[in-house]
Every structure is written in C-alpha cells, then in structure tokens.
Chains A and B, each alone.
Chain A
Amino acid sequence: MKTAQLHFLLDGRDIRLDRVSPTTTLLNWLREDEGRTGTKEGCAEGDCGACTVVVAEARNGELVWRSVNACIQFLPTLHGKALFTVESLRASEGGLHPAQTAMVSCHGSQCGFCTPGFVMSLFGLYQTEAAPDGDAVADALSGNLCRCTGYRPIIDAAQAMYRLPAPGGKLPAPQWQNASDPAAQALLDRLVHMNADDVTLDLVHADSRFTAPRSLDEFASCVARHPDATILAGSTDIGLWITKQFRRLPHLIYLGRVRELTSLSETGGWLDIGAAVTLEDAFEAILPHYPELTELWRRFASRPIRNAGTLCGNIANGSPIGDSMPALIAIGAEVVLRHGDRTRALPLEALYLGYQKKDLAPGEFVQCVRIPLARGPLDEHLIRAWKISRRHDQDISAVFAGFSLTHHHGVVSSARLAFGGMAATPKRASHAEATLIGRPFDDAALSDARAALALDFQPLSDMRASAEYRMTVAQNLLTRLHHELAGHPTRIDNVEADHGQH
C-alpha cells in the first residue's frame, strides 16, 4: 500500500499536500507557501535556531514534543506528525503563551530576529519539563543564538514562564500540567489514528522521489533495489546538501517511519539502538548504563539537532570529527549492517576503512548500533569521553577522546583509547594502548603512552585547530586521565567562582 499524499497537522488543522518537492524545507514551506513568516532564517544550516519550531508525535501512547530546526527539515518528514510554529502559540482570544509573556517581561528580545526561535525552544521546554533547573534551561536553549541580549534575560524568562498562569486557548497542555487535558488527548488520538496504517509514503515530484516505508523488510528491500538512493534520517547533515550545496537528490528513502528502526531494546547483554532513534532518545537509554557519557550527550549538539539527528546517522556518516564514534568504540559498541534480508555485525571501529570510506556495500545500511551492557565495577573500569571544541554548546570537535581503561590491583588489564579529529576516520590509538597494558598507569606509563600517540596519529591543521594543538591536546587528555586517577580536579565545568565576603 502506498500513498502519494503528505499529511500532517498544523495548529490542529489537516495539511494534505499532493505536489511537493521532497527536498522543500519546512522553513521555506512555512515562509513562502503558508506566509507564516514568524519563523526566521538565520543560517539555513541548523546552527542558529532562528527557525526553531516544535513537532509533536505519538509515541508509545504518549505525546512527545520536540524542538527542531525547520531550515534543514524536509517537509515530507513531517508526515504523521503535528507542527507548531510561533504563530500557533497565540491563543484564540489573542493572549500570549507564558513563554511569550515571560520574554516580554524579562526584556528577552532586542532586535527580535532570533526571538521566535527562542520562544519555540521555551515552548518545547514548557511542554516537556515541569521544573527545569539551570542546566536543563541551558540545554533547551543550546541551539539558539542571540547576538543582542547576552542571554541572561532569556534564561530568566525560562524560569519566569513557570510562575505564570497556564495558557488558555486550544493549545494542548503539557502532561505535567494537566494529565487529562482534552486538547492533548484529542491530538494524541488523531496522531495515533494518522499513524495506524502500514502505508508507505511515496512522493514523486518532477524528477525527484521520497519513499518512506513502514516496515524494516520493505525498507531493506527498497534500499537494496535502489542502491544509489540517499538514505535519510534526521537530515541534520543531508539538509545542508540542499540548502548550502544545491545538490540534487533524486531519490530519498526515509527511515524515520520504519517501526522496527525507531525501537530500542535490551537483549542478551546488549542495548540495540535502531537507525531511526534520535540522539536524544539514544542517550536517554545509554546514560543509565554509562553516566560518564553525560558530557558527550550534552555537548554532542544543540537540543534541536539531537531531537532530529540519529545516533546511527552519526555512525553511518562516519565523519572523522563525528563525536559519538570515539566514545562508542571505546566502550566496545558494534554495528549491525543489513543488506536485503542478510545482516552482519561488526565492531564499530571496523566499519571505517578510510576517509569517507566504509565497509558498507551498495544497498547495505546501518540497521542498529549495539551497546554492551556488561561493564566492570566503576572503581576498576574507567570510562571517559571528552570533547575539545571552541564552544561548549553546539560545536564541532577539534579533538574528541573516548577512553575505556580497566585496571586490577593497580595494573592496567585493558585499554581502549579512541580519538576523533586526529585521523581520516575515528580511530583507536593502538600504539598508545599497547604501552599501557600490563603495567601500572604511573608517570612512566603516561610518558610512554604520550610518546606512542605520535606513532598513532598525524593530525591535520584546519580552521578548528592546528595539527600541533590536536596532538598536544590528545596527549594531554591522557595526562588528564592520569590526574583523574589521582583524584585531582581537572574540569573547568566543575569549578566555582570565589564568593568572597559578600
């Protein structure tokens, strides 16, 4: 069964589109076709947040609210979802949403261009969290740039909006505010109904096509039949191929609607994360087992990017500066690849053969990534994932290090040291690993490991960092690991200002 009609909700209104170019961005559709100009274009690459909108989905019988960047979302990926833009917040009687009232009263806008995006990130926060702390607020706003205010009043607004009366009008209430809100229930029912079928969305427009199967078998056979097609997940990278590179993508096969790929499961000592699972959901499942990866989660990308992008997309993309791979390689993750009805599993590091070269046959795709659940006791098994970049929020690494070190009675029994940004692929430092194993991690071992790193890597210079800096920092991160074993404070994020006498 197939349909050629795109169907989603906007302000609860049915939007059905028959003739839509598959790579039309949500932002352009809003601004140009719908005249909803509240959503702005600041960068068209998902880095500034001026285009932030909120999408609601039905998942496991619940409404899930997500802020995303409209500039790099392709319109057909909205199929079966509900869209909310800044215009949606105005209640029927014309009152403001608490996010908007708080932004006004806290003086959170100056030039106002970034403001609708901030308002939507705040709305996304309001819909999902009852009482966010400072870190949660910062995380919710991590994908929005403001050049005027310096952010303080916007941070204040995020707290102030919770002290205001609940919004009136037809907006579905967040779960924390009213668990039996009729508007929320109605929206959930409609979304469940819209997604009840197994119909493949197959849009054909001029010379381009968008196919969104519902089952894994159908998806696998579609990819096998069309090995030249582009597999699309969160479009946080592919979106830029259109907005910045003007590439033609004749056939997109979208995995976001494949039921099996949206699932997470724990079986046989592994956590399996399907290819359509977003970064945000993936980390939510991983962090209870690996709390040391909290920084990786928070700094991987902004909230809207993590809400759209997928962990497997990061892995399948295989960029040398992708953040997830060094950490996942360090903890011994595997990937499951599928071609037609055949699957095979590989250690993650074996997927990467060279720059932009992967052990992935035409028509084959990453079906899931598997995280080992068994791990040593915390005092014997040291795991660290460290990102070095120019900025804390939403940045690309200069160097990323994922370390997993096991020691018994002071002697290192295993060491997995993986780096990003140091070579043409995410890569283990095999020489450095070898120097550490079978001896205590003392000053001499550290010195040997640092020296060995120079055999493992010959990094490049670019606008993010020089080769020298990359090497020095990679070596220094081994030193940091050494300091952490000795119990010294090593992180600026944990340092507090001196409060003085006042």
Chain B
Amino acid sequence: MVSTEARGSAGTALPHESAILHVTGSATYIDDLPELRRTLHAAIGLATEAHARILSVELSAVRAAPGVVCVLTADDIPGLNDFGPVVHDDPIFATDEVQFHGQALFAVLAEDMRAARAAARLAKVEYDRLPALLGIDEALEAGTRVLPDVALRQGDVDTAIGAAPHQLEGTVRHGGQDHFYLETHIAYAIPQEDNTFRIHSSSQHPGEVQLQVAHALGLEAKDVTVECRRMGGGFGGKESQPGQIAAIAAIGALRTGRPVKLRLDRDDDMVLTGKRHDFRIDWHVGFDDEGRILGVRFRQSTRAGYSADLTGAIADRAMFHADNAYYLPSVAIDSHRCKTHTVSNTAFRGFGGPQGMFGIEEVIDAIARKLGRDPLDVRKLNYYGTTERNTTHYGQVIEDNVIHEMTAELEAGCDYRARREAIRKWNASSPVIRRGIALTPVKFGISFTATHLNQAGALLNVYTDGTVLLNHGGTEMGQGLFTKVAQVVARELQIDIDRIRVTASDTARVPNASATAASSGADLNGKAAQDAARKIKARLTEFAAAKYAVREDQVEFRANQVQAGTTVVSFAELVHAAWMARISLSATGYYRTPKIAYDRNTLSGRPFYYYAYGVACSEVAIDTLTGESKVLRTDILHDAGQSLNPAIDLGQIEGGFIQGMGWLTMEELHWDASGRLRTHAPSTYKIPAVSDVPRIFNVRLWDRAINAEDSIFRSKAVGEPPFMLALSVWHAIKDAVAAAADYRVTPMLNAPATAEEILRSVDDACQRARAA
C-alpha cells in the first residue's frame, strides 16, 4: 500500500492553479474572450453635476457620431431601472435627478470601443443645479441619511466614563479608498434563443448579477445565466457593483439582438463605481491610572454616498469591530450612515472592520500618550481575557483568544522593546528625520453578519477516467480560492491535484450562491466541496466493499489508489468499475455555518463563527521638513489556522498589509468643490508601488495556529484580516510625529498620512508642545 498523500492535497504550498496561465498571458479574462461576430461595444455617458435636476438630455450628436449603432437610456429598460443590492435606490440610468458627479445617464453602443467612448462625450445635458452635500460634516449638519441611525449600548457608559480617574475625547478621520483592481469592470452579454441571455461578468457575486439583469430585462432568474472564470482583482469592488455594468450590456443585447461588451475605461471605473467608506469617528473614553478602559463612547459617521448599497452591513461591521482585540466594559456606539451627493460607497476588504478598529486604536494610543506609557503596554492591558473579560459589546463570548501568545511571540521576535529605546535615542540626535515604531493587534470576526448568507453549494463530477470536474459558488479574484477548494477535494478523494479541474463560477451549475466576500470563500465553498466529495467517496466505498467482499471500514483511499482489504486498485479503475455498475458519479455538496445566530434589532448574539488574529510591528521614518514617510521594517505574525495553502495565505497577508498601508498613507480621494473626483486615474491616485514595500519585511504564519471551531481542516479565513495589520504603520507614523515634538503631546493625524498631512501634524504637534 502506498502511504504518501495525493499530490497537492490541502495543506501544501502549491502555486496558484492559474499561475502558469498568468505568467504566459494565457489566462483568459473577459476582455480576452474571442469576440462573437457583430459584437457591439458600449460606453456610459456620465453626469457632470453632483446634484441637479435634469432638464433635458440632447443625444443627437451622440447618435450621429461615427460608428454609433444606438443609444440606451432609462426608457430602453423593459424591467426595473435599479441595481440596488439591498435597498432599491440605485438607478441603472439616472432619470430626473442626478445624485453624484459621474452618475450614469445613458449608454452608447458602437461598432468599436473607441467610437463608443468618443461618442459618449458628445451629449448635451441641461441641468438645474441643486445644493450638493459632499462631506460627512455637511451631511451630519443637514441630517441626511441613506439608512436610519443605529445605536448600540452595553453597560452604563455615562456613569463609567464620569467616574473614571481620567477622561479623553477626540475626533479622528480616515479617507476612502479606490479598489484599483487592475482589471476594470466588464460584462459581455450574449443574447441567446427564446429571449434568454448568457452574461460574462467580472463579479464576486454572479448570482446577484443574474437577478439584477433579469429584473432589468423584465425576465426571471431562469432566463439569465452568469459566468465568471476569474477576475483581475475584486477586493469587494466587484461585490454589488457589477450588476449595473452587466445590466447595461444586457439591455443593449436585448435592444439590438447583438452581443454587447461593456468594459469601463479606468477613469470611468474610478468615477462611476463605489469605494471604501470614509469615516469620521468622535470618541470619549474613561480609563484608570494604568490605562485600562472603563467606558468608551463612539460616534461613527460614514459617508455612504447617494444610495444605501451595502452601507448598512458595512456600518454594522464597523460597530462590531469598534473593540478590535480589547475588552470594553461599557460602550455606547452611535452609527450614522450619511447620505451625500457622491458615488455610493461599497464593500472593500475589511467591510467596516478596518474603520471600527481605526477608532479604538486611536483611543488606545491617546491613553498611552496621556499616561506616558508604551502604547503596547496599554494594548496588552486592555486585551480580551481568555476566561474572563471575554464578552464582546455585542454579547458574543470569545472562545478562541490567542492574541496574548501571538503578541508575546512577535514582541520578543522582533525585539520591540530594545528597538523602541534605540529609536528614541536616535531621534534625540536627528533634527530632520524622526523614526517611530508600533506593534498593533488584529482580531477579526469571520462570517457574514447577515446569517442567511453563510451557506454554499458545490457540484462535483467524476468522469470514467477518474478525473474530476469541480464547481462551486465561489469566485476566483486572485485570492487562490479555486486552488484551495481543489486541494480540499484532492485530500478528501486522495487524488493528485492535476486530476481535478475547477471550472468557472456559473449560476447554471451552482445556484443561489452568496457573494465571495467576508473572507468566507474557502470556509464555505471548501466545506461544500468536501461534502460533495464525501458523498462520492461514500458511494465508491460502499461499491468497493461489495465488489471486493470487505467491510466498508476496510476500504481506504490513499494517493490515487484505493485499498479494499488486500486488493489495491487505482482510483480511476475503481471509478470505471463503479460506472459499469451504474453508480452515480456526480454529487452536489452543501454547507451552512453552524452556531451563528444574531439579532439585527438588538445588535446582539453570535454573528461570528470564530475570530482570526494577527499582530504586526512596523518601524517608519518621517521627514519633518517635507512630511515624506517611509516604512523601514515590518514584522508580521498571522493566524491562518491550519493553513490550506501556506503560500497562498502568505500572499494574502502580505498583499493585504500593503493594501492597508496604501489606505492609511498615500491613497487619497480628492473631490473638488463641485463634487468632481479629481483623483480618477493612477496618475493622480497613488497605490503602493514596488519601492513602498518595507525593506525588511518578515511575515510568518503562526505555527501554533489552529481553528478552535470545526472549519475546513481547521483552517482560518485570511482574505480580510491582514489588511488591518497596516494599523501598525499608521501608529508608527504617529509615534514618529510625536518624536518630532519630543513626545510631549499626542499627535493629531488623520488618514491618509500623506506627506502634506504628516507635515501639518508635525507642525501642529510642535506648536502645541511649545505652548505647553
């Protein structure tokens, strides 16, 4: 009997399943599909006012432009003019009123892409300009909301703060963030017989695109199929947004009877589609002499943009993560989901979690600086306990807390204390450049907070040659989901990974799938695929036991072979024999996350199946004359449970960290006074580039990690949690700013910490230090 595992089974550091296709340029994205004859290309006409009544839309010049075949407006939509995922407040095309600069008004269909894009600029629109609310403060003042305010109360916070030996309060803000997936939004709609449609959509949620297209066309789900082999990046930006793109392509296909491709130009993509929610956080904390939090009050106000989109769930998650890893004995959180005349903000890696944590980390840092303590000591003092002080402000008892061990390991491993002292000494003799260091934790709740979304399906076909075709409801956006799920099946069936092909996400194969979001992809789809594989395995086991006259517990699957008693056959031979004996070789799998239950009205219960943890320590340098900054070193220890694929998990951690660093340092969305986004291309919107990677970058998976819950092979979700490790960079910058004022005042810094913001903060800190 062969004793080795099948090649590439779960736990192995395999390359991404498409790695060779990626490097050879042969991985097919939607724009790379061979175009069908008579394919038309679409471009969207965008509004040029932030808030206005539309008086007239003159499209004759658009229609007359070379190559133009037709123009689509709201009048061409046979069904619903809406793509809102939760609330129906997202028109595909604006009709009477424009609600943000860049909102879609119409679309042009032309024989080629350039003709369509050039023509889309020729519309003459008359507006009656209305007052536009652009920022959070204006919306708070005007009282505009996309959804009602939500309040969470735990304990008697007023008394706790009032009786506390120390109190502090403040306001801190952070900016939004463009996803900047390298592949812009795209859909290719192909009309098929009997008024049905096949849609290729770059989407994290094909099932929702299916419904959105059906509703727009006045059809039913059965009439539309949506497929996505891979996205060129998603990060949440392709969760709710692809519906509009696909719907426009589909409406065009319906109107013309021709295939229609809509691929957004980068600038249009950045102007038209939603971004990370920016927040203003007002806080008030009471704490004891050591820095232990006794009570804290947050007012979280976020810019939703003009519509609700996913703002409700995002703002909820910000409330859930207002604790990060800290026990809060009494809490009050007021959440305001502000309506503004800007693009509707949407899901982005972390989904409110980073925003919530940003607030509490600000509080912790302020306490430490007020008391003159090392912020790490105050962090550790406030960490959740393992057996007591372990209930969250929403009532979930934390049963898997490993933050103490992880912090201790990283603190020692990166020599935090000695370096902190050495940096302080160095700063004293460096008038221009200052350095800072910070070690910050992450605790991130895993599960969709909307409980019903925590389900998944898979379809597994075994062919008579023993090869496997695997399909599940998850989508591949680069995170390695297809690789991991195939590895799960390789381990279950004990066959080599190259005997398994994972096929494009397709609403016709696995229906009603949730979005690939909330870091849940591998947890949900891995379990569903495992379920399908186990069904097949059970049938084959029963068959083998009968055929070779052994008990079922004497049948073993090992590395492409099956042993039944003393007989050893290859997996392929057994499969073929089973087929000859008329055994079904196709199975569906299904999974729903156990234990979770959460009451949306009281904001309490167990929204999360488990938590993922991580710790990061970053060291930075800032230039006190220009505000420029640089990350010099980062050390990360992250908890991915029993990793399904350590190489892929490492990639998620590093990539998430750098993306988070971009959010907090250089990525700035700038709207001008008229509400027009001025940072709408990589020339003006800067994401981290190769020189921004810390020169010393030590990233490790925590080797003692294991999921306390029965997740897929005890792994942990890893998509979102590492994003928030970048808070270490943020607080290291604050530490360097504090150094510029000889650690005498608490820096006031808002994110992103651009050079301009750091210089402002340095000058402000120095002024306050002089005045003190």
Interface positions of A (Cβ within 8 A of B): 31, 35-45, 47-48, 50, 85-87, 89-90, 96, 99-100, 103-105, 107-116, 119, 138, 141-142, 144-155, 244, 246, 388, 390-396, 398, 462-466, 469, 472-473, 476-477, 479-480, 483, 488-493, 495-498, 500-502
- The answer, yes or no, to whether B22 is at the interface (CB within 8 Å) is yes
Closest Cβ neighbor of B29 among chain A residues: A113
Judge whether A151 and B690 touch: CB under 8 Å: yes
Contacting B678 at CB < 8 Å: which of A108, A463, A493? A463
- Please state if B25 and A85 are interface contacts (CB–CB under 8 Å): yes
Given A45-B683, A246-B114, A390-B686, verify A111-B266 contact (CB < 8 Å). Answer: no
Q: Is the CB–CB distance between A38 and B630 below 8 Å?
A: no
Known: A113-B183, A480-B626. 10 other contacts (CB 8 A): A90-B24, A111-B231, A151-B658, A246-B114, A390-B686, A395-B686, A488-B431, A492-B628, A495-B435, A495-B630
**Would A465 and B621 be within 8 Å (CB), given that A37-B25, A145-B682 are in contact?**
no
* B639 adjacent to chain A (CB < 8 Å): no
Q: What would 26 A/B residue contacts be, using CB atoms closer than 8 Å?
A: A31-B31, A36-B25, A37-B25, A37-B28, A96-B24, A103-B22, A107-B15, A109-B16, A111-B230, A111-B233, A111-B477, A142-B689, A145-B180, A150-B654, A150-B658, A151-B693, A155-B690, A388-B628, A391-B688, A463-B679, A472-B763, A480-B625, A483-B431, A491-B433, A491-B623, A497-B695
| Chain B residue contacts of A492, Cβ below 8 A | 433, 621-623, 628-630
In contact, A145 and B689 (Cβ under 8 angstroms): yes
Beyond A112-B232, A154-B690, whether A391 also contacts B266 by CB under 8 A is no
User: Contact string, B421-464, partner A, CB cutoff 8 A, digits 1/0?
Assistant: 01100100011110101000000000000000000000000000
B123 CB within 8 Å of chain A: no
Question: What is the distance, in angstroms, from A370's C-beta to the closest C-beta of chain B?
Answer: 30
Enumerate chain A residues within 8 angstroms of B267, measured Cβ to Cβ. 244
Find B755's partner among A36, A39, A86, A390 (CB 8 Å cutoff). Answer: A390
B17 nearest CB across to chain A (Å): 10
Q: Is the interface of A mostly helix, strand, loop or mixed?
A: loop
The reply to whether B681 and A113 contact each other, CB–CB distance below 8 Å, is: no
The verdict on A100 contacting B619 (CB below 8 Å), with A40-B182, A138-B691, A151-B690 known, is: no
Q: Taking the nearest CB of chain A, how far is it from the CB of B24, in angstroms?
A: 6
Stretch of B217-225, B383-391, B522-530, B643-651 on the interface side = B643-651
Q: Are A147 and B180 in contact (CB under 8 A)?
A: yes
Residue of B nearest to A89 (CB): B24
Asked if A497 and B632 make an inter-chain contact with CB atoms under 8 angstroms apart, the answer reads: yes
CA distance A413 to B693 in the complex (A): 42
Residue of A nearest to B120 (CB): A246
The interface residues of chain B lying within 8 Å CB-to-CB of A116 are 22-25
User: B residues 736-765 with Cβ under 8 Å of A?
Assistant: 754-756, 759-760, 763
User: Least Cβ distance of B204 to chain A in Å?
Assistant: 12
Answer whether A497 and B691 are a contact pair too, CB < 8 Å, given A100-B24, A483-B432. Answer: no
Q: Give every chain A residue within 8 A of B431 (Cβ-Cβ).
A: 483, 488
Q: B653-692 interface mask toward A, CB cutoff 8 Å, 1 = contact, 0 = none? A: 0111111000000101010100000110111101111111
Top 5 A-B pairs, shortest CB-CB distance? A38-B25, A111-B478, A113-B232, A500-B415, A112-B22
CA distance A500 to B632 in the complex (A): 13
* Contact of B413 with A by CB under 8 A: yes
How distant is the Cα of A115 from the Cα of B619 in the complex, in angstroms?
30
B499 interface hit (Cβ, 8 Å): no
Q: B598 at the A/B interface (Cβ < 8 Å)?
A: no
Contact in complex: B182, A145 (CB < 8 Å): yes
Tell me the smallest distance from the CB of B12 to a CB of chain A, in Å: 13
Cβ of B630 and Cβ of A500 under 8 Å apart?
A: no
Within 8 A of A (CB), among B174-188: 179-184
Contact (Cβ within 8 A) B15 A144:
no
- The answer to whether the Cβ of B546 comes within 8 Å of any Cβ in the partner chain is no
B313-335 at interface with A (beta carbon < 8 Å): none
- What separation, in Å, do the CA atoms of A47 and B184 have in the docked complex? 14
CA–CA, A472 and B653, complex, Å = 38
CB distance B265 to A490 under 8 Å? no
